A and B are shown apart, each in its own frame.
Chain A
């Protein structure tokens, strides 16, 4: 009855994390319908690779598959988006801008949902990805670094850059 046990394993390892998978895919593809397609692709791959799942965080494991599926999907459907992924290092942090010119925290707190979503959607892909993995999926720096195969320092600087951009756009939008 190996079919049955694969089905059970799938139900235990994959199904509990569907909401997280959809949230990630929604932000990588840009909308909820495409997210379902991507997550379905990812789940097909997850099922096929279930035997390679070696314990540890099932969520991180599934999200890594979702991320790959999203890239495949983007390459097929929106190759232009991927151009931005090429070299995030080119987008250098604006480190010398004085704090005084930044908006008040209270302005950011008042931002409504539409403004927040628009601001996230406007982030360059590599920054958006790290921000979503951290603040929406709740992965640790270490888990994100492992998933993206980059050093933790890179995760941190991309995250700092993403949040810096959000501070600015939410401060303006309010």
Chain B
């Protein structure tokens, strides 16, 4: 119980418990509630019930996306390519089902992102390439090379591996859990990426040593349905990409930059 705050009523408690299991409470509110849970068995039991219900709903199997259905939907966008479409199903059968399934699995997997070399100021193409790489990484069997929430593990690992290590700040208290790190090779360049998770969303943070990427505009971009933010700090050029809404990604970027600057 927290000093002289008024006792929240039952309905408020219920909403707070929901927000806690949904990961929608900020760190301070979560801490307060967790202390109350430790001291109040009835509240703890309600929390356990809600968590059990949530787990029950989440373990329901997803409806399968049949190959026929995927082909039918994909065909909507390509009515003119009828002859080619006949031979096409073999590919979409694998690609799009896997892709769709990967979105489901995203909640549990981490992803690594990649960086491309800039050959010019074609930021749109570049953003598309980042998005494609991010999506491709979602399909990988093991998208992180080192899984650790401890930045003191991730940073030396990257350093030892490729001699490069961006600031691997721990943002768990702000709701962004560090899942691990990964190494990508793009256009003959080795670049480190960090992977964070926020609720079910994965954020890939690519950090390339500042070199030829100087032409790229900073600020919000968007590509392939992902939000993308690019900025430069110190010796690195950063790209953060995720399927989160833009304001959430901006929040992540602001907290990362803040923590990196102070850490």
Chain A residues within CB distance 8 Å of chain B:
3, 6-7, 10-20, 22-23, 26, 32, 35-36, 39-40, 43-44, 47, 53-60, 93, 95-96, 99-100, 102-106, 108-109, 111, 113, 116-117, 120, 131, 134-136, 138, 140-143, 156-157, 159-160, 163-164, 166-167, 170-171
For B166-204 the 0/1 string (1 means CB < 8 A from A) is 000000000000000000000000000000000110000
For B33-63 the 0/1 string (1 means CB < 8 A from A) is 0000000001101101111111111101111
Q: Are A131 and B227 in contact (CB-based, < 8 A)?
A: no
Inside 8 A of B133's CB, which chain A residues have their CB?
A: none
Assess A156 versus B199: contact at CB under 8 Å? Given A16-B103, A19-B104, A167-B49.
no
In whole angstroms, what is the CA distance A93 to B14 when docked? Answer: 10
Q: Are B225 and A141 in contact (CB-based, < 8 A)?
A: no
Q: Are B225 and A13 in contact (CB-based, < 8 A)?
A: yes
Majority DSSP secondary structure for residues of B touching A: helix
Q: Are A163 and B53 in contact (CB-based, < 8 A)?
A: yes
Q: Are B227 and A55 in contact (CB-based, < 8 A)?
A: yes
For B47-90 the 0/1 string (1 means CB < 8 A from A) is 01111111111101111010001101110111010000000000
Contact of A136 among B24, B58, B69, B72 (CB under 8 A): B58
Majority DSSP secondary structure for residues of A touching B: helix
Assess A136 versus B45: contact at CB under 8 Å? Given A15-B74, A32-B63, A95-B10.
no
Q: How many residues of B contact A (CB 8 A)?
A: 61
Q: Which of B102-121 contact A (CB under 8 A)?
A: 102-104, 107
In whole angstroms, what is the CA distance A71 to B61 when docked? Answer: 24
Q: Are A93 and B61 in contact (CB-based, < 8 A)?
A: no
Q: Are A58 and B243 in contact (CB-based, < 8 A)?
A: yes
Contact of A135 among B43, B49, B54, B76 (CB under 8 A): B54
Inside 8 A of B69's CB, which chain A residues have their CB?
A: 18, 22, 36, 39
| Interface segment out of the listed B93-101, B145-153, B157-165, B253-261 | B93-101
Inside 8 A of A120's CB, which chain B residues have their CB?
A: 57
Contact of A99 among B42, B131, B200 (CB under 8 A): B42
| B219 sits at the interface (CB 8 A) | no
Q: Are B103 and A12 in contact (CB-based, < 8 A)?
A: no
Inside 8 A of B72's CB, which chain A residues have their CB?
A: 40
Inside 8 A of B246's CB, which chain A residues have their CB?
A: 55-56
